[in-house]
Amino acid sequence: MPSITAICDYLQFRAPLTLAESWDQVGLLVGDPNNEVMRMMTCLTLSPNVAEEAILRRAQLIVSHHPLPFRPISRLTTAQTPSRILWQLARAGISVYSAHTAFDSAAEGINQQLAQRIGLQSIEPLQVKVADASHGTNGTRGGDQSAVGVVGTGRCGDWLSENTATEFAEHTKQVLGLPRLSLSGAASQTVRRVAIACGSGGSLLPLAISAKCQVLVTGDIGFHDALEAAANGVCVIAIGHFQSERFAMDGLATELGEKFVDCEVWASIQERDPFVWM
C-alpha cells in the first residue's frame, strides 16, 4: 500500500505547492505522513456530510480542494463546525491534504482544464508564476519542477468563433452541462479573448482587463466587481463556484486510482452544491 508521503509526493508533482497564494493553507494539513493508504476520497469541500461519508467508508486520506482548517483554530472541540469535523476525522484516523490555489494554477490544473473544456485556443496564464522545487513533501510548500510547464494565476485564451457574449455564454452553458448561469455586461459585444478564473474570480478582474479580454468566466463574483467589469468592457459569466471546480476533483479521483492501483479511490458521492438551481 502507498504511504501518505508517496501520495503527497505525486500530488505535489502534479501541483507544486509553491504555486499557492501566500494566504493559502496547502499540503498535508492533518495526519501522519508515514501511514499507509488503502482507501482515499476526493472532494471539493469538507462539509459534515462529506466527512461522514469518509468515516463510514473507512477512508485513510481525503484530498480536498478547499483547505480544512483554512483559518487558525485555537481549540479542537465539537463547538464549531470546522473543529468538530477535524476532531471526528482525527478520531477515525483520516488524514487531509489540500492543494487549493496550487491546483488552480498548475500546468494541468483547474483553470487550464476549464479553459480547455470551453474550447479556448492559445491558452496561457493571466499571470505567470514560477514553482520552486527546493522544498520537501511534508512541509507546507514544495513541488517537482519537472511537472511545472506553463503555470500561473488564472488563464486566458482566444475564442475563434464570431460570437456575441450572449452566444458565448450559451455555448459555455451547453459544453459544461449547466442548468443556468449568470451574465453581466455588454452582452452584444463580440468575444475574441476570454479570461478564466475558477472559484471566486473577482480578484483576477484587473488581470483580465490588462489582458484585453471581453469575457471573464468564473465561479462567482461580487456585485461591485461585476459593475467594475462592465465599466471596463468585460462581460462576466458566473457559472457557480461548485460547478467551476468540482469536476476537477472527479477527474483527480480517476487519476489517483490509475496511479495508485492498490488503493480504492472515489470522489465523494454525498457532496452537493449548497445552492439549489431553480
Q: How far apart are the C-alpha atoms of 248 and 65, rounded to whole Å? A: 9
Residue 245, classified by CB atoms within 10 Å of its CB into exposed (0-12), middle (13-18) or buried (19+), is buried
Q: How far apart are the C-alpha atoms of 67 and 98, rounded to whole Å? A: 5
CB 70 within 8 A of CB 92: no
Interval 62-78 mean pLDDT: 91
Q: How far apart are the C-alpha atoms of 135 and 185, rounded to whole Å? A: 44
Quote the Cα angle for 200-226-177, to 5°.
55
User: Whose grid coordinates read 458521492?
Assistant: 269
Arithmetic mean of pLDDT over the chain: 92
The dihedral built from the CA positions of residue 70, 71, 74 and 79, taken in this order, carries a sign that is negative
Higher pLDDT, 130 or 145: 130
Q: How far apart are the C-alpha atoms of 162 and 26, rounded to whole Å? A: 41
> What tens digit of pLDDT does each residue of 99-118 get?
999 999 999 999 999 999 99
pLDDT for residue 73: 85
pLDDT for residue 149: 67
In the predicted model, is pLDDT for residue 133 greater than 80? no
CB 220 within 8 A of CB 193: no
CA distances from 18 to 24, 110, 113, 130, 175 (A): 11, 16, 20, 8, 32
Print the SS3 string covering 163-205.
EEHHHHHHHHHHHCCCCCCEEECCCCCEEEEEEEEEEECHHHH
Q: How far apart are the C-alpha atoms of 115 and 156, rounded to whole Å? A: 8
> What tens digit of pLDDT does each residue of 202-235 get?
999 999 999 999 999 999 999 999 999 999 999 9
For residue 265, give the DSSP letter: E
Q: Take residue 137 and report the three cell numbers written for it.
A: 513533501
Whole-model pTM over 0.85: yes
> What tens digit of pLDDT does each residue of 142-199 get?
444 445 568 999 999 999 998 999 999 999 999 999 999 999 999 999 999 999 999 9
